[in-house]
Structure 1
Amino acid sequence: MSSDRWTRGEMVNAKQAQANKEDAKAWTLLENTLQASLQEQRRTRRWGIFFKSLTFLYLFVAIMLFSPLGNMDAASTSTGPHTAVIEVRGLIADQQEASADNLITSLRRAFDDENTRGIVMRINSPGGSPVQSGYIYDEIRRLRKEHPDTPVYAVITDLGASGAYYIAAAADEIYADRSSLVGSIGVTAAGFGFVGTLDKLGIERRTYTSGEHKAFLDPFQPERQDERQFWENVLENTHQQFIDRVKEGRGDRLADNEDLFTGLIWNGEQALELGLVDGLGSTSMVARDVIGVENTTDFTYRESPFERFTRQLGTSVGNTLAVHLGLSGPVIR
């Protein structure tokens, strides 16, 4: 009887041991399956990274090989006597297409080319930074002294306002279309005030500074009259600098009109009467009839798509926020 019970116990133990072995095999199989799956995922991820990197490298090489490079020497493509054309498009600001660095580079190359018989700045711009505009104005005046036989003309297409007109004033003569918009000789600096909004939302603004007026442009703080007056004086002084440059460049060609420097803008025909432009015409007309060389060569400095992409990726959002929140400097408009 005892022997039968022992035999049954052994049988139970044997069955339990067998079950444990099967469970261990199942867990081992599951573990191996999971491990293999993880390894496969790692391999897939590594190959994914590899192919993505390869694609990026391919696109980078393609851009560098087939896109016009920003530092390509435009003068090397010129053939015989020509009128050099330089585009002034869009916002005049640092890190933009119409920055002082880009336009001055273009101007120097055009002046240095022995086949250049005259230079046309073809302008379509609402203006921008007074600093950038001032750099370009001064450089045009300097280069004209170094190259007295190479005239510079400005041709305004759709728009030549504010900082764009600041630049145009350095040219020997300015031309526009009858419907072009010309002028807007003034300075602006805009922003927003969010003090009331914070009060309604129950938000407390905390600003720590080490100067009484350090945060005077903060849109989240109440405006003080003395700081407002100070800022208006800064803008007025910048406006006077603008006026002085226009008078220096245009001289007695300017009409005696009290509205000339108030920020108003006129069409081409009105601008001609006011002495803001010297004639009505296009780039081809100026090249053919004024300079006397119809053949034109584009000397505009242009960034490659890759350069433009990497620059805009890092700066466009920040610049836009700075302008709309009033955290940037004054703008000639």
Structure 2
Amino acid sequence: MEDKHWQADAGKDTDSEIIKKHETKTKEWRLIERLIMGLQGEQRKARRWGIFFKSLTFGYLFILLGIFLMGDGLSPDALEEGPHTAVVQVKGPIADGEDANADAIIYALRQAFEAENSKAVVIRINSPGGSPVQAGYVYDEIKRLRALHSDKKTYAVIMDIGASGAYYIAAAADEIYADKASLVGSIGVVSSGFGFVDLMEKLGVERRALTAGDNKALLDPFSPLKDEDRQFWQSVLDTTHKQFIAQVKQGRGERLKDIPELYSGLVWTGEQAVELGLIDGLASSSYVAREIVGAEELVDYSPKGSAFEQFVDQLGVSFAKGLSTQLGLNAPVQLR
């Protein structure tokens, strides 16, 4: 009897364990099933987001391609709906490789003069000057175009500053205007550098310069400046200065007040410049177009690069502006 009871108990324990094992396996399979379903759901989401971002990227590239194929942005023909005043910008340092280089300015000037509906040309200047060579090229071209298109007058309008080489260019115009607070003039030539001879001696550094030609190392900052070198270079500056003065006098004529200080490199405000004959009056580009030319609409003929380049530049500016806003760096400067 005891053996039968033992066997029965053993059989009951076995069934219970089997049930427990079955339940445990069922739970495990359910967990695995949920895990697999979850992974499949994540994969579907990842594929959808991948398709979305790929579509966005291709759309962005197609937009850029469309902008690139729209044109080079150099011609304002689309804006020529009627009589207007042509504008050519001279902005920033005047030098080869800068925005205000002779080739770019001359190209814009030719387009502006040759445009059928332009009634006059305004050279809008905001520059501290730069290369006398680049300025000289522009000066000569303005004179040539004025003679070729005698029916169109040329006005130079100085904004914040029109000094040195920038005033050189302005002097080629029929008339010059500026704001009362504009900086005008600086009719002079400068050449500057540094000398490191004493510093090299203190550091124990020896200068070794081999040349073929006695003056090949002229103005070497690591060698002492000899008196004859100083005199020679000063003669070069004086010659360039005389050329500058001659062009200004040719352009402005008897309107200039005959005083030596005028060619000393000093700058004056627009209000002072009127009295000295450096400019003809106080006015903005809009005023000149509206009141003097009689064609109020202003059309800018300055080269702007391709539409693609403009888009990239604007994108960079927008990014920098947003970053400065977040960092609190864009507080405006104010007069108080």
Shared fold, TM over 0.5: yes
Aligned counterparts of 2:176 and 2:291: Cα–Cα separation in 1:
14
Match of 1:72 in 2: 74
Cross-structure match for 1:224:
226
* Structure-2 residue corresponding to 1:253: 255
User: How far apart in 1 are the matches of 2:171 and 2:62?
Assistant: 41
Quote the offset at 1:211 in angstroms. Answer: 0.5
Distance 1:264 1:306 in 2: 39
1:22-61 Cα offsets, whole Å, 9 max, x none, are xxxxxxxxxxxxxxxxxxxxxxxxxxxxxxxxx9xx7798
**Which residue identity is paired with 1:214?**
K
Q: 3-state DSSP class of the match of 2:130? A: coil
Are 2:94 and 2:135, in contact at CA under 8 Å, matched by a contact in 1? yes
What 5-or-longer segments of structure 2 have no aligned partner?
Answer: 1-56, 314-336
Partner of 1:160: 162
Quick one: distance in 2 between partners of 1:68 and 1:287? 30
Q: Is the 8 A contact 1:75 1:109 kept in 2?
A: no
Of 164, 168, 171 in structure 2, the residue corresponding to residue 169 of structure 1 is 171
Per-residue CA deviation, residues 249-292 of structure 1 (Å, 9 max, x unaligned), is 00000012220000000001100000000010100000011111
How many Å separate the matches in 1 of 2:284 and 2:66?
34
Q: 1:77 and 1:105 mapped to 2: Cα distance?
A: 18
Letter in 2 for 1:141: K
Q: Is structure 2 residue 197 aligned with structure 1 residue 195?
A: yes
Q: How does 1:1-333 map to 2 (within 5 A)?
A: 62=64, 65=67, 72-304=74-306, 306=309
**Which 4+ runs in 1 deviate beyond 3 A?**
58-61, 66-71, 304-310
State the AA in 1 paired with 2:266: L
* AA in 2 matched with 1:97: D
Could you tell me whether the CA contact under 8 Å between 2:74 and 2:305 is conserved in 1? no
Q: Is the 8 A contact 2:74 2:301 kept in 1?
A: no
Q: 1:257 to 1:94 in 2, by over 3 A?
A: same
Q: Tell me the residue number matched to 1:3.
A: none
- Is the Cα contact below 8 Å between 1:63 and 1:306 reproduced in 2? no
With over 3 angstroms needed to count, the CA separation of the structure-2 counterparts of 1:69 and 1:224, relative to structure 1, is farther
Equivalent residue of 1:232, what SS? helix
Contact persistence 2:304–2:310 (CA under 8 A): no
TM-score scaled to structure 1, two decimals? Answer: 0.72
Between structure 1 and structure 2, the one with the greater Rg is: 2
Paired letter, 1:197:
L
Q: Read off the aligned partner of 2:246 and give its amino acid letter.
A: D
Structure 1 regions of 5+ residues with no counterpart?
A: 1-54, 311-333
Q: CA deviation at 1:296?
A: 1.0
SS at match of 2:245: helix
Q: Give the Å deviation of 1:72.
A: 2.5
Larger RCO of the pair (alpha carbons < 8 Å, separation 6+) = 1
How far residue 219 of structure 1 moved from its aligned partner, in angstroms, is 0.6
